[in-house]
Structure 1
Amino acid sequence: MLSRLSPTDRAAFLDGARTYSPTVMALISWGLVTGIAMSKSVLTMPQALVMSVLVYAGSSQLAILPLLAAKLPIWTILLTAAMVNLRFVIFSAGLVPHFSYLSFWRRVALGYFNGDIVYLLFLKKSFPTGRVPGKEAYFWGMAAVSWTSWQVSSIAGIVLGSIFPDNWGLELAGTLALVPLVVAAIANRSTLAAVAVAAVIAIVAIDLPFRLGLPLAVFAALGAGSVADLLADRAAGRRMGTEAGPGVREEKAP
């Protein structure tokens, strides 16, 4: 596959894969947790395998398993999955300026292979918007490593789920492994405000039904970051006005 790419795209693809590689162990932890949980739920092994490939979203997969076990109505299960995955709508909106020129089905493929870490690392690259050589290949380099790592670990968890005891705490290990990525993403005051507000809302709203705490935390983070950016812009404007003031007065005085 790489031989079919241009030299620029090939280098960008490999760069994306290298960029994503430090996060693979965290993703493998989550994949194992999700696979083990599915293997010990009401799902059969074929059903769990199909869910792993088609859904490709560990948080929503884990969220709906208790609902399936409780035999709740399908609309409840779909609503819960939609609430948990609502953040991907925001991720997709963030990618629009970069990939809006692509065909519909290529954008659908990008949306399927997108993920929390992929999106975060892609934004950290600070690509210009619009068509940029190697940008899509860079995204696919990260997405390929992410999808492959997830499926291998998730399927391993499904197959070997009966071997792992429930008290191993793999879910906590996966969460702790993701913390440095979140900390590294705090580049300014607006992102710090967004992370702080999201953390508080997520803790306060943890007991809400349908995992509503997650979308609430996402929207609260967006609001906090936007307000922080607005306040920073206003402060910068006031500083520029203060600095320009004496110069303006001097020009007016003959």
Structure 2
Amino acid sequence: MPMLRLPAAERDGFRAGFRIISPLLPAIFSWGLVTGVAMGKSILTVPQAIGMSLMLYAGSAQLASLPLFAAGMPLWTILLTVGIVNLRFVIFSAALQPHFSYLSLPRRIVLGYVNGDLGFVMFMNQKFASGYVPGKEGTYYGITLSNWAVWHVSSILGILLGALVPDSWGLAFAGTLALIPMMVHTITSRSTMLAVTLASVLGLLAFDLPYRLNLVLGVLGALAAGMVCDELTARQAKRLALANPPTGTHDGAAHEGGQTRPSGERRS
């Protein structure tokens, strides 16, 4: 039986996706390791912590649930907290829908599972057109699967080593510092800068809200700011294009309207 091979465009796209995300993999490893250590030092057993990491695949939600487990909170409270923290993935999925709506439901479920914060940002920065584009799905998987693999390797390693790492090492702060270069790397435009700034301000102002609602507010504010900024930029570019049309167009029109008659042609 011949081995199933992906189209060349998708294989090339996968390699391109890996190259896109590769500069951020060390920081992803650091953050995954910190999250794993926190889970390993919690009341969860090692199998429970590993299972939670594999099923949930969301560092902020995993960390938000740990103090609730330690406090013996009801399961519905923990699930509600995790659901609210992960509401941003509903927004991410809506943004990805125009790109992959043509795929079957099982394939879209896999796409959604491997999606992460950084993977989503790096993929959307590629500015692919909606609908089917050769190599687009491969690029998505090159970005997100690399993120997924590095995260789980580091997270499981942190879970296994959690009991051996003393609190005095301050790994939580080191993990937070590791996120800064990842965020800076994604700022490639004025709209992105505005979105990051607004998300940071909203997250800090709403820090005391329960269930980490400040994260949801930050994501919504960032999306709104980015969309408005992109729309204003597009309108400004359109106005400039109308105010300064290409000179070649007018010259061509004048030439066409003012064609000279052949020398041998006489008026009737």
What band does the TM-score fall into relative to the shorter chain?
Answer: 0.7 to 0.9
| Displacement after TM superposition at 1:171 (Å) | 3.0
C-alpha change, 1:206 and 1:4, in structure 2 (3 Å) is same
* Residue of structure 2 equivalent to 1:12: 13
Count residues in correspondence: 243
> Where in structure 2 are the equivalents of 1:217-228 lying within 5 Å?
217-228=218-229
* Residue of structure 1 equivalent to 2:259: none
User: Scaled by the length of structure 2, what TM-score is found?
Assistant: 0.83
> Where in structure 2 are the equivalents of 1:1-254 lying within 5 Å?
4-233=5-234, 235-236=236-237
Q: What is the identity, as a one-letter code, of the residue corresponding to 2:109?
A: V
* Residue of structure 2 equivalent to 1:248: none
Q: Is the 8 A contact 1:29 1:171 kept in 2?
A: no
C-alpha distance in structure 1 between counterparts of 2:43 and 2:142, whole Å? 35
Question: Which has more radius of gyration?
Answer: 2
Q: Between the two proteins, what is the percent identity of the paired residues? A: 54
| Displacement after TM superposition at 1:235 (Å) | 4.6
What is the SS of the residue equivalent to 1:212?
A: helix
Which range is displaced more, 185-194 or 53-62?
185-194
| Displacement after TM superposition at 1:59 (Å) | 0.8
| Displacement after TM superposition at 1:231 (Å) | 4.0
Q: What is the identity, as a one-letter code, of the residue corresponding to 2:17?
A: G
| Displacement after TM superposition at 1:79 (Å) | 1.5
What is the SS of the residue equivalent to 1:4?
A: coil
C-alpha distance in structure 2 between counterparts of 1:63 and 1:14, whole Å? 34
C-alpha distance in structure 1 between counterparts of 2:57 and 2:146, whole Å? 13
Q: Is the 8 A contact 1:35 1:161 kept in 2?
A: yes
What is the SS of the residue equivalent to 2:163?
A: coil
* Residue of structure 2 equivalent to 1:251: none
Structure 1: unaligned runs, 5 residues or longer: 245-254
C-alpha distance in structure 2 between counterparts of 1:101 and 1:196, whole Å? 35
| Displacement after TM superposition at 1:188 (Å) | 3.1
